[in-house]
Each structure stands twice: as C-alpha cells, then as structure tokens.
Structure 1
Amino acid sequence: MTTMQKVPTGVPGLDTITNGGLPRGRTTLLTGKSGAAKSILALQIASHLARSGLKTMVFTIEETPADLEDTGEGLGFATSELLATDKLRFTDLTLPMDASTVVTGDYDIVALVHRIEAAVSEFGAQAIVLDSATALFSPKPSEERLRHQFFELVRTFRRLELTALVTAEAPDDYGPRTTLGVEDFLCDVVLVLRNLVDDERRRRTIEVHKYRRSAHYKGEYPCTITSKGLMVFPFGVQGAHDAPPTTSRFSSGFAGLDTMMNGGWLRDSITLLRGPSGSGKTTLAGMYARAGATRGERVAYYGFEETRNILLRNFASVGLPMDEFVQQGKLRMDCSYPEATSPEDLLVELRRSLDEFDPSLIVLDSISSIAHSTSARGFRQFMVGFASLVREHSRSALLTQTLTTHQDDSTAPFLSTIPDAIIALDYERKEQKLSRTISVVKMRGSAHAEDSYTMHIRPGGLRVEAPRDSQAEEESRPRG
C-alpha cells in the first residue's frame, strides 16, 4: 500500500485539521457561498506552494490576474515577487467584458484541457489552482454532460500528476456542496467554507467534508481573514505540548490567596475568577498582572469593560500603579470593546501576542463581555480556542467572569471544564457595610483551602482573614 504524500498549505490551522495538508498529485475541491473567502484561500495556498518549491499556476476565470496580484500583495503573500521569479504564474481565462455568449452544440471542455496541458508543460507546473469551476461551466450543461466533462478535467490533472485545487460556489451553507451538483464525489478532498450569520454577527467556519484515504478532523472550525490571509482555529485538536508539565508555582500578588492555594498558583494553568459586579475581580486581576511584571515577566492584559486610561487610573487609585511596567515593556494593556471585533479576530490578536510579545501571563477581564457580544456557540468556540492557544504555548492565564447574581451558576457546567482553578468572590450586606468573601472552588493537582475567607479591599489591593475556626486550629497546633 502506497503511503499518501501530502503538501502543506501553509494556512495556520488548516494543516492541522487535514492532518498534514492537501494530497500530492490529487484534486481538492474548495466550496462555499459567495463571500466565503474561497478565492483568498486558493490564492494563499497557491502562494505558499510556490514559495515552498512547487511551481504553481493559477487559472483565473472570475478575476483578472492584475486583481489577484493586488489581492495577494495586500495580504502579504509576496505575489509580485513570486510572479517575477517565475515560481507562480497566472493564466487569464476570463471572458471579455464586452463579449456575448452564443451557445451552440454540446458543451465541450477538450479545447480547455489541451490549453491547460500546453501551459503546464511550458511552465513546468507541479500544482494548479482553477478559480472557479462554477464560472467555467457557465452556461451550465446537462448533468450528464457536466459530470463527464468535469471527470475529464480531474483525470487530466491526475494524469499530469498535478496537485490541484478547484473552487466552486455553493447554493447554501448546509445544502448541496456546489451549484453544479455532481462533481464533489470526483475529488479526493472537499473543503467547505461558510460565512454564517450567527446572532446578528458574521462567523466564518471551515470543514473538511471528506478526505479519501486519510484521517482528518471532523466538524466545523472557526476561521477568520487576517492581514496575512485566512487563519483556522483547530480548537481542541492540537494535542498537548511536548514540554513536560511543571509543578512550580508563582505568586498571585495576593499573599492571602497564595496561602489558600497551598503556596501559590501552578504554572501553565488557567484560572477562572468568578463573582458579581463590585466583588473585586478587576483589582485581583491587577494584582496578578503587577506581581508578574514585578518579577520581570511579560504580561498581556486584555480589558473589555474599561478604556486603557481609566483602567490605569483605577489601578493607581487603589495602590497598584502600572505605568512603570507599561513603559518598561513588561506589561502590555490592550483595552477594547468586544462588540467592535469578533471572537475569531480576538484569537488572532492573542496568537500574534504570543508569537511577538511572548507573555508568560495573560489576563482576560472580563470574558462576560465577550459572551454578551456573540452567540453561545461562538463564545464556547472562543473559550476552547483560547484554552488551546494557552496550553499549546505553555502559558498561564487569569480570566474574570461577572455573575448576574450572587448565586448565579448558569455557566458553570460549561466553563468549569476549561480552567484548572476556579476562585469565587462574593459579598453580602450586613447592617451598614458589605461583607466580602473569597473561596477556592477547585484547583487541579493541588490541595487548597476549603473554607471561605473574609476579604477586604484596602490600599495596595486585597487582604484576607482566615475563618475563626481555621485560626483556632492554627493556634492550637504544637510549636516545634
């Protein structure tokens, strides 16, 4: 049995869900409705193949070569350089704008096949992109004729040992794969792009509909268009990183909480800090970030409820000045409203921050704002995608979540599976003042305090008092 050879696409995340890339010497069909980003993804893959040493041809039927070159340059594909060095070539098959179509006799693709063969031979192409089959077979011939003609096209690619990518338009997101209706079973791989309206917001996904003779990941995965092309988020499938797990701990910057957590927080862990509005979550997040920066670590703080200047002012007013660390480049504070972006774009920014800024600690304050700006499905995908990024890069993260009521536990079944530790803040009014409490709900891999501790907001941050029975137990222990 011959082992299938695959060609990496260079598209972040796509090689993961295809288990290595596209099949060498076979045809892949890329489908989706208008606006799903088929042409961008096809051009991105073609550019990567050309850069990696496979001479690649793009047959353009809907866009002119000049427009494609501009698109590639705008997305950083270095298209002009690839064309100038003869690693990539565009062949224009677009109809003249002033041409009229006259249909006579049966549709026949033989002439096009010969043209492709001649162009491939002259250029020495090893890979080919045809964008798009929908435009190629327009006007649409009979189903029987279309099937025969498309089969001849795919067979030609196979005979020439070309790694081929063909785009086609789909009539619906979850209906037939293409408007042509007969050709998806002729291709070895079918990729489906979708640009869905989800709770009044657009959400892009990609799915490996089929992949002959190869394992691949099932289901839809979020993707987005960035300044460098398409990026796929294969949440939950990257697998554990190769670095061995560590048992080292670090301080939260909150001495009382460190005691409750049996000596501090475990490295490479995700902690969820939950509580109602006004319970001290942002203050604790600031202590966490400041403690890391004080130790010389790099900290990325994402705030979604306040502007950067107001957040810095509020931290300074409670005795947690941050300006020094920001100026030193140890603390990066990025504040924006989630409604102005999308969860996928936020994941792009997080990945860019991990690659370029290289923080060891990440703060998201608060994930409730993200949840309110997207659908339940979009939020879940974001959270799983974020956890995958953090674990893939072996980083520690603190997430804050605002509960609508003191006893609100509606999201706990979903979120409780993601973090390694959950800390609950709460308060109740007693006579003329608030009584605040803090407790460690769970902490994987570590013993922790089981009692709720009284907490106070003081200059310099938060302070705790151990419960009286815990104090009495501590005082009754024999001293050595």
Structure 2
Amino acid sequence: MIATRVSCVLFILYSIELMNSNPEQTKIASTGIEGLDAVLKGGLPAGRFYLLEGAPGSGKTTVAIQFLKEGLSNGEKVLYVTLSETAEELYSVGESHGWDLEAMPLFELAQADVALSFDREQSILHPWEVELSETIKLITDKVEEIKPTRVVFDSLSEMRLLAQDSLRYRRQLLMLKQHFASKKITVLLVDDMTGNAGERDVHLHSLCHGVITLERKTLEFGGATRRLQVQKLRGVDFIAGFHDFSIKKGGVIVYARLTASNFHTPFVGEPVKSGIDELDKLLDGGMLKGTTTLITGPAGSGKTNIALQYVAEACKRGERAVIYEFDERIGTLLTRAKLLGFDLQQYIDADQLHIRQMDPAEITPGEFTCIVKKEVEECDVKMIVVDSLAGYISSMPQEKQLLLQIHEILSYLNQQGVVTLIINPQQSLVGTMSVTGLNVSYVADAVILLRFFEFEGRIRKAISIIKNRGGSHEDTIRELRIDSKGLRVGEVLNKFKGVLTGVPDFKGSSDQLLEPRSDEIQ
C-alpha cells in the first residue's frame, strides 16, 4: 500500500512538472564540458533535477565542479553541498586541474553544527529521523541564504545512510525536488552507487529529469578508460549510446560518438594525382576525392612509401594532409621520406602536414575519432593516412566493434571529400596471404595490392588494383620499384604466371623488368 502511494505521488509530481514546463521558455544550462553539451544537444534544461551516477573514481566530482564553474563564469550563483568530502579534498581536486575554487560557495555538511547529541536517544523519535530532518533543513537554509541557480549534492549515499529507510529517503528527495523546482534551481545529484549495493536506484531514476552514468574500466594493459551514457533526458533528443571521455589537466573531455549521416559537405569527386603517371593509370586517372583506398601487402612491400608519394604530391598542390602513425616512429618515417626524395619537414614547418604519433596504450576509439574530426573541421585537411589499420585495431584489443567504428570515421571523411589512405599489412611475407577478419568491401572503395615475387634469385615487388568502386581500373599486374630514384611502376608482367601467390612461373625474357636494383628502399 505504501509503495503504491509513493508511485502515485511520483506520477502526480511528474504530471505537474509536464504541465508547468514550456519547451519554448526553458533555458539551457551548459555543463561547461564541450563534448558533453554536444551529446546533450546544448546542455541541461534549467530548473530541473538531474542524477550523475557512477562508481568511485569514474569522474563524478570533476564533472560536478565543471558544471558549477560554468555557472560562475556566466555570472550565476552556485552552491556545492558536500556530505562526505572535505573542503580540502575538493580544493585539491581543483588545484590538480589548475582551478581556483575559492570563489565557489561550498557547504561542508560534516562541519555544520547538527548537534547530534546522545540525549536524543531518549526522544520518542529515532535519532536518524532527527538527523536527516535537520540535515535537509540545513541545506534548504543555506540555499535560502545564497539563492543559487545551480546546486550540486555530493553524494546521495550519505543521505541514504541518514534515512536508513528507503521510503523516507525517497520522500525527502521528493520534498527537495519540490523545493528547488519552485525556485527554478538546476540540481545535480551525485551518486556513487555504494549505498545501494552497487545497483541503480530505479525510483531515483524515475524521480529525476535526466540521468547521466559514468563508467571506468581498467584494462589488462595501459591506462584506465572511461565512458558515459545519458540514460534519460526528458524533452531532449540527445545522442544515445556510450561516449568515451578522459580526465586530463583542465577537466573532463568528452568525445561524442560520431554519427556520419549527420555530416555532409558538397564536393566534386575529382581524381587526385600521385605524381606518377603509371600509378595514376592503374586507377584510371587517380584516386577520387571522398573515397577510401586500402593499401595492403606484406611487410616491406612499399605500402607506406606509396602513401608518402600521395601525401607529398598533395602538399605540393598546397593541400593539407595528416598521417596517424600507430606503428612507425615519426623520425623513421621522415628518414624514409628523405631517401625517396621527399622533404616532408618543409611541409611540417609550413603547417601543411601534421604527423601524429598515436600512443596505442592510451588512446580510445572515441578520442581518435574526435582527433580526426577536429583535423578536418579546423585544419581543412584534404588527405588522411592511417598507418596502420592493424595497429589501430591491435592497440585497443579490449574495445568492441572497432571495425564498425573505423567504418563510421571513413564514412564521415568520405562525405567531407577527404582522400583517405588506410595501410594494412597481410599475414606472412611470401606465399599465400590473407587479412584475417577484415571485410575489404566494408572498409575501402579501392584496394591497392602489393606482392613480392622472385626472379633470378632476387626479390622484386608487384602492384595491382583489385577494386575501384569509384570507377574503372587496370586489371594488370605491374612491377613496382622503390629506390633513390623514387617510386616507379614498370611494365605489365604478362610473361609471368602466379605473381599474386608469391610463387610465379616465368615464361619470357627479363626485358620487361626494370633494370637490376642498386639501392632499393624497403
């Protein structure tokens, strides 16, 4: 019977809230976290009750402080009510991010004069009933004194302990909601989920206007990763699903999940030249803008060198390019480029080329997506190289649906007219080769395949195009040479059989092959 009455009260309060709310007049309270505001489509509707939940160490306090700091920067009055942490602990959190929290009003309940003496045990009322009532009164009195527009309660587990009875705990929260709603105060309730056996409080979820859940996961190797999810937000078409976030000096950074279908920039799908006529002929004039090309082959066959050829030519045209290195060091890459005759440092100095060394043990898929998106939108990048896809996937082994996430990135880049080159090595060096678990059609519009083949006791390289979704392409197999003269494509290997298997059968003369190598570059 009591539970039924509580449900009725919740329903009545929710109905009153719906009747009193006018979407056209509701103000939006920014959280102070750019990525989180993007997920929330601007921020939190002001004057409502919100729940921020998560296990200890997930970043709740940092998010709460940033929420109040944003209010202060907008000239609002704010209040941080701490029921567990001391002022010194909160100030130390601020110092770690370079924040001065002295201007933020802080009500430390542990220091408040609640006067919980032993003689109350002789009262008719239980001592915990008096404690909770006086705690709520102290809070409401402080609110009346400061008159804030934003309030944070950190955390609810202490209120549960004071209430002891779940029914009384919910009733007090209902009273608080009514009190703050009448004053148009935006309230953020912080819950560490320790007072409810680690489970989500469904009654609390129904009471709040919105619920944000933070999660922290410790990996088998590398740093911990964090992600958040908006469980509910009434009246807002937020971005659902999980979003990666990190805590760095300066606060929380949220990497909103990318939905490629929301982005499209009109462009002309013109061919992009490599600077080598024979290579462009293989692709019927060159790669098209807004397409993804997969360069695949065994290690040392020249995949990265072909990508560098396209990057150098793009920079010569005055375009901007970026290379994301998951495998190779930047210094080694620049040395390799010099041997090919490319001085990439001049383009780096001119801010035309960015080479990003990706830390496999620290980066998350969401962070990588946001880095790519930022490069395109803020730096007007026209060509992107990912070296390599295998490095990207192996750097985050405990993440799920990585191929789906990289497909979303590539779809976004294609709609922005960016030329994307994905380097991916194949298993083994010679003989039959395969790319385990990779759906080529799902990832790439065009595929450049490289192979080793043997002739007269020497290892040579072959190149062919096995797919070009953007147009026609040669179906021939040609020799590839990479040396001090640069990258060269030879004649069709029409006197060979079985080149792609790595074990060719030669039936002609050596006239069709390039001259014997002297200083070939791997």
TM-score, scaled relative to structure 1: 0.81
Correspondences of 1:77-476 after superposition (within 5 Å): 79-80=100-101, 84=103, 88-95=104-111, 104-106=127-129, 109-139=132-162, 141-170=164-193, 176-177=199-200, 182-201=203-222, 202-237=224-259, 239-241=261-263, 243-335=265-357, 337-339=359-361, 341-344=363-366, 346-347=368-369, 350=372, 359-375=381-397, 377-378=399-400, 379-380=402-403, 383=406, 386-387=409-410, 390=413, 395-405=418-428, 407-413=433-439, 416-430=441-455, 432-465=457-490, 467=492
Decide whether aligned partners of structure 1 residues 111 and 171 sit closer, same or farther in structure 2, where only a CA change above 3 A counts.
closer
Q: Deviations over 1:209-239 (max 9, x none)?
A: 2223433333322222233422233333264
1: CA distance between counterparts of 2:209 and 2:338? 60
Letter in 1 for 2:435: D
Contact 1:33–1:173 (CA<8 Å) still a contact in 2? no
1: CA distance between counterparts of 2:175 and 2:337? 68
Deviates more, 1:125-134 or 1:263-272: 263-272
Secondary structure in 2 matching 1:106: helix
2: CA distance between counterparts of 1:435 and 1:107? 86
Decide whether aligned partners of structure 1 residues 269 and 155 sit closer, same or farther in structure 2, where only a CA change above 3 A counts.
farther
Deviates more, 1:23-32 or 1:194-203: 194-203
2: CA distance between counterparts of 1:241 and 1:19? 15
Partner of 1:473: none
1:438, distance to aligned residue in structure 2 (A): 2.9
1:356, distance to aligned residue in structure 2 (A): 6.5
Secondary structure in 1 matching 2:161: coil
1: CA distance between counterparts of 2:156 and 2:50? 12
Contact 2:215–2:226 (CA<8 Å) still a contact in 1? yes
1:38, distance to aligned residue in structure 2 (A): 1.0
Decide whether aligned partners of structure 1 residues 176 and 430 sit closer, same or farther in structure 2, where only a CA change above 3 A counts.
farther
Contact 1:206–1:222 (CA<8 Å) still a contact in 2? yes
Secondary structure in 1 matching 2:172: helix
Secondary structure in 2 matching 1:30: strand
Q: Deviations over 1:238-283 (max 9, x none)?
A: 6433532332343234443322333233334443322221121111
Decide whether aligned partners of structure 1 residues 468 and 452 sit closer, same or farther in structure 2, where only a CA change above 3 A counts.
closer
1:34, distance to aligned residue in structure 2 (A): 1.0
1:14, distance to aligned residue in structure 2 (A): 2.3
CA RMSD after TM alignment? 3.6
Deviates more, 1:209-218 or 1:355-364: 355-364
Letter in 2 for 1:133: L
TM-score, scaled relative to structure 2: 0.75
1: CA distance between counterparts of 2:418 and 2:321? 10
1:46, distance to aligned residue in structure 2 (A): 2.4
Partner of 1:68: 90
Secondary structure in 1 matching 2:335: helix
Decide whether aligned partners of structure 1 residues 158 and 439 sit closer, same or farther in structure 2, where only a CA change above 3 A counts.
farther
Contact 1:235–1:384 (CA<8 Å) still a contact in 2? no
5+ residue gaps in structure 2? 1-18, 119-125, 495-522
Name which of 16, 23, 38 aligns with 1:3.
23
1:392, distance to aligned residue in structure 2 (A): 8.2
Letter in 2 for 1:371: I
Partner of 1:475: none
Deviates more, 1:248-257 or 1:400-409: 248-257
2: CA distance between counterparts of 1:75 and 1:348? 22
1: CA distance between counterparts of 2:444 and 2:258? 14
2: CA distance between counterparts of 1:26 and 1:445? 51
Partner of 2:520: none
Q: Deviations over 1:308-343 (max 9, x none)?
A: 222222222233332333343433333355236555
Name which of 67, 71, 83 aligns with 1:45.
67
Contact 1:108–1:149 (CA<8 Å) still a contact in 2? no
Decide whether aligned partners of structure 1 residues 101 and 245 sit closer, same or farther in structure 2, where only a CA change above 3 A counts.
farther
Secondary structure in 2 matching 1:137: helix
5+ residue gaps in structure 1? 470-480
Contact 1:32–1:192 (CA<8 Å) still a contact in 2? yes
- Count residues with an aligned counterpart: 458
Letter in 2 for 1:262: D
1: CA distance between counterparts of 2:213 and 2:277? 51
2: CA distance between counterparts of 1:105 and 1:68? 27
Secondary structure in 1 matching 2:127: coil
User: Percent of aligned positions with the same letter in both sequences?
Assistant: 25
Deviates more, 1:295-304 or 1:415-424: 415-424
Q: Does the alignment pair 1:21 with 2:43? A: yes
Q: Deviations over 1:22-80 (max 9, x none)?
A: 2322111111111111111222222223334543322223334454345345436x555
2: CA distance between counterparts of 1:152 and 1:145? 11
Secondary structure in 1 matching 2:106: strand
1: CA distance between counterparts of 2:295 and 2:100? 46
Decide whether aligned partners of structure 1 residues 387 and 291 sit closer, same or farther in structure 2, where only a CA change above 3 A counts.
same
Q: Deviations over 1:320-376 (max 9, x none)?
A: 332333343433333355236555554565566557755433322123223222226
1:439, distance to aligned residue in structure 2 (A): 3.4
1:199, distance to aligned residue in structure 2 (A): 4.8
Contact 2:360–2:395 (CA<8 Å) still a contact in 1? yes
Contact 2:219–2:398 (CA<8 Å) still a contact in 1? no
Decide whether aligned partners of structure 1 residues 173 and 123 sit closer, same or farther in structure 2, where only a CA change above 3 A counts.
closer
1:189, distance to aligned residue in structure 2 (A): 1.2
Contact 1:143–1:182 (CA<8 Å) still a contact in 2? no
Letter in 1 for 2:436: S
